[in-house]
Amino acid sequence: MLIFFAFSVSFITMVALSLFSLARFSTFMDYADEVTHTNSVIRKLYKTEVQLKDLDRWERGYIITGDTGYRRVMDNVIDSLEPSLVALERLITDNPEQVKNALFLRNSITNRVQCYHRDIAYIDSTGKRQAMNLYSEGRKHMIAANRTIREMHEKENALLRERFKRQEFYEKLTTNTLKSLLFIFCVVTLTLFMLLMKVIRSGMLYQEELQVKVHDLKRSHSELADITYAISHDLHEPLRKIQVFINMLLMRKKPVTEAETVTTLERINVSAGAMQTLIKDLVHLTELTSSSEPRKKVNLNKILDNVVSDLMPRIKEKNALIETARLPDLSAFEKQLRILLGALLDNSLKFSKEGTAPLIEVRYTRVNGRALKQIDPVLANKQFHCVSVADNGIGFDNKYIDNIFKIFRRLHSDQSEYEGKGIGLAICQRIMTNHEGYIIGTGTPGEGAEFKLYFPV
């Protein structure tokens, strides 16, 4: 079985390397085609430049001598200019900058040809050979066209040098890859033994990952319990109020004024709106457990800038100061990270102290997982990107730390001056779970709070 496995791996490796070599060769051919393409553009530029010089030379000859032979040659040159320009424009459609230059070139050539026709018409109608003023104007357009051609030459030459270097690079790479195939094939067999040793180690790593998954499962189970609690308590309360208000309308025996009816209906509407909001929040939370967003490398600094921009009206309203450090690039779900940072900054602005300008600090360090060992001892030996969001707001008592990440569990009463529905931090924890990460919060009443985000390296 092991021999069959070794042979299979060797065969698959050779096929993969062969395909890799073919891909490199294909890339080499692509660059060779690009070099050929650039040379074609340069040839067309040279041809157009020569045609313009011929037009200028033959026009001067006709002005001086009046020989109609010059005119026939000039007409042929003019007739050949348009196909040359069309061919040139077709070749540079993949280069927006050159397309723009080609427009200037066409405009200059068109003006030059118009001046030519005007010169000839003047000479033919007056019989005078003193059309040098008109000729001078046409020459200006020719000089402008030549200047544009030179610019296009320079850009194409630079592009040719770059593409030629790439062509040489991939030519060497293809050759070296083919030479390496035989060597790699021999090495694969010896490597298989090392892979067997790694299988044993991977089993240990799998056990560690399994423990992490178990922990995530426990967190998901806790979220499910919180959702069940919300359905049985938070959603039940506005529904009970709706029933009470409807019964009040039905059970009234004395004449009811329109104002009383409107007031009762408004209360029903408020309770229904509260219920709708709670349901939306629950849907928002559950959607995060099955996100279809692709995971990719994201710039955390750019995401933070966008979040700050979105919150700018509230930041100005509160006269807040946000200090940020250089943050890392992460392999993550971009939209979820934007929700995460937005929720944390919004929390800091929301729970700021009256009469004190909010100060929010976003910092980054690369740390080991010692701070997470209470969650799982295995995490203590792993590396994490730690992003912290700290503020100088009202803070909270750390004895309530288990409640702040549960949905609809607010540390302030519903009648509190601080707005909120108590789901923001629950969403933050779900987002960190989706990234195999952790969020830890600490607070000091009256001094501020800090939330640390641990992303595995």
Instruction: Spell out the per-residue pLDDT of the chain, length 457, in tens.
Output: 555 666 676 677 777 777 777 777 777 788 788 888 888 888 888 888 888 888 888 877 777 777 778 778 888 888 888 888 888 888 888 888 888 888 888 888 888 888 878 877 777 777 665 555 666 777 788 888 888 888 888 888 888 888 888 878 877 777 777 777 777 777 766 776 776 677 677 767 777 676 666 666 666 656 555 655 555 555 656 666 776 767 666 666 556 566 766 676 777 776 666 666 666 666 666 666 655 678 899 999 999 999 999 999 999 999 999 999 999 999 998 988 998 999 899 989 988 888 889 999 999 999 998 888 887 788 888 899 999 999 999 988 888 777 777 665 554 444 444 444 457 788 888 888 888 889 999 998 989 999 999 999 8
Q: Are 373 and 438 in contact (CB under 8 A)?
A: no
286 with 405, same domain: the answer is no
453 with 312, same domain: the answer is yes
CA gap 183, 186 in Å, rounded: 5
Main-chain phi, psi angles of 406, to 5 degrees: -95, 145
Main-chain phi, psi angles of 324, to 5 degrees: -125, 145
Which pLDDT score is estimated for 419? 47
70 with 23, same domain: the answer is yes
273 with 303, same domain: the answer is no
Main-chain phi, psi angles of 17, to 5 degrees: -65, -35
Does residue 222 sit within a domain? no
Q: Which amino acid type is present at position 57?
A: R
452 with 339, same domain: the answer is yes
Which pLDDT score is estimated for 388? 94
CA gap 218, 231 in Å, rounded: 20
438 with 354, same domain: the answer is yes
Q: What is the CATH number of the domain that holds 357?
A: 3.30.565.10
Neighbours of 122 (CB within 10 A): 17
43 with 111, same domain: the answer is yes
Q: Which amino acid type is present at position 248?
A: M
Neighbours of 109 (CB within 10 A): 25
Does residue 198 sit within a domain? no
Which pLDDT score is estimated for 360? 94
Instruction: Find residue 421's DSSP bridge partners.
Output: none
The two counts, helices (H) then strands (E), for the chain are: 11, 7
Which pLDDT score is estimated for 412? 47
Does residue 315 sit within a domain? yes
End position of a domain, from candidates 121, 156, 190: 190
End position of a domain, from candidates 157, 190, 223: 190
129 with 278, same domain: the answer is no
Token pair recorded at residue 203? 């089993």
400 with 441, same domain: the answer is yes
Neighbours of 448 (CB within 10 A): 23
pTM to 2 decimals?
0.45
Q: Which domain holds residue 279?
A: 235-290
Does residue 218 sit within a domain? no
Task: Using alpha carbons, select from 455, 407, 8, 94 the residue that is nearest to residue 231.
Answer: 407
Sequence-ordered list of residues with C-beta below 8 angstroms from that of 283, at least 6 positions apart, any chain = none
179 with 35, same domain: the answer is yes
3-state secondary structure of 445: coil
Does residue 51 sit within a domain? yes
End position of a domain, from candidates 290, 310, 334: 290
311 with 274, same domain: the answer is no
Does residue 82 sit within a domain? yes
Does residue 261 sit within a domain? yes
252 with 310, same domain: the answer is no
The number of domains in the chain is 3
Does residue 195 sit within a domain? no
